[in-house]
Amino acid sequence: MTQNNFVRYLEEEEISIFEIQNLKNTLDLGNRKINEIVENLVAKGFLSRIERGKYCRANFRDENVIGTFLAKESAVAYWSALNLHGLTEQFPNKIFIQTTQLKKEVEFAETSYQFIKIQTNKRAGIIFNGYGNYKYPITDIEKTIVDCFDLPQYSGGFAELIRAFNQAKLSAKKLSNYCNAVDNIAVIKRLGFLAELFEKKNLSSFVKFARSKVNRSYNLFDIFGESTGESNSDWYLRMNLSKENILGIVQNQY
């Protein structure tokens, strides 16, 4: 196979991003031959190497597709998903990818991709955005909210999470299911408290679920805050962020 034939194959099959091993098997080419073709096309500027063994067309720069292509069982998540769902106007300075695979951060085309490893049982709520070569997995709104409260360090700040929860249209059933999957009692208590405080009537069944999970161990409401504030004995939360401050955050959205 010549370089021209290889380029023609990519165009005919509408392949914009690929793993070289998969093409070796499909095209029945030896390692040396296909490596030579691909490396020559990289040198000529037709292809770009994302990382070892993974390439894309030189003009292909969909960050969400690239990020989820780099790791197996992955999805755009956390702060990146919050932004894509329209729940924050803040743009993260990297793409956050949730995956069951342990993977180091990757830098490609001036974009950083951070991979957050989760246990397989926590992988849930995956939907797809886009079409064709631009299709990628992303956590749905409810799973994004639960994940962000579970690991708020990847979520753009606690105040942003409170705003996002307040404005999001949420399914009580999905929220309960994802809380069960993530299995973080402190998260369930915080979300239950907020659903009650914001009087989200459509989440009444979730509040009931959350109450059934409350234990007698106190957790800080704001995980990043100091260990101060009143004790909320209904939810066993140390309110280091007062109700007044919380309501102030959502009344001044941005």
* Whether 139 and 220 share a structural domain: yes
Using one digit for the tens of pLDDT, what is the confidence trace for 31-64? 788 899 999 999 999 999 999 999 999 999 999 9
pTM score, whole prediction:
0.92
The residues with which 18 forms a beta bridge, in sequence order, are 55
Using one digit for the tens of pLDDT, what is the confidence trace for 192-249? 999 999 999 999 999 999 999 999 999 999 999 999 999 999 999 999 999 999 999 9
Model pLDDT, residue 91:
83
* Whether 219 and 131 share a structural domain: yes
- Looking at 34, 57, 80, the residue that finishes a domain is 57
Residue type, 35: N
47: domain CATH number? 1.10.10
Structure tokens at 240: 């280091």
Higher-pLDDT residue of 186, 156: 186
- Looking at 36, 57, 78, the residue that finishes a domain is 57
The domain in which residue 120 lies consists of 64-251
Longest dimension (CA), the chain: 72
* Whether 149 and 247 share a structural domain: yes
Using one digit for the tens of pLDDT, what is the confidence trace for 60-100? 999 999 999 999 999 999 999 999 999 998 888 899 999 99
Q: Structurally, how many domains does the chain consist of?
A: 2
The residues with which 230 forms a beta bridge, in sequence order, are 239
* Whether 124 and 238 share a structural domain: yes
* Whether 179 and 222 share a structural domain: yes
* Whether 71 and 49 share a structural domain: no
* Whether 212 and 147 share a structural domain: yes
Model pLDDT, residue 22:
87
* Whether 121 and 153 share a structural domain: yes
What is the rounded CA–CA span in Å between residue 76 and residue 62?
12
Query: Which residue, among 241, 178, 238, has the nearest Cα to 210 in the 3D structure?
Result: 178
Phi, psi of 53 (to 5 degrees): 85, -5
* Whether 70 and 112 share a structural domain: yes
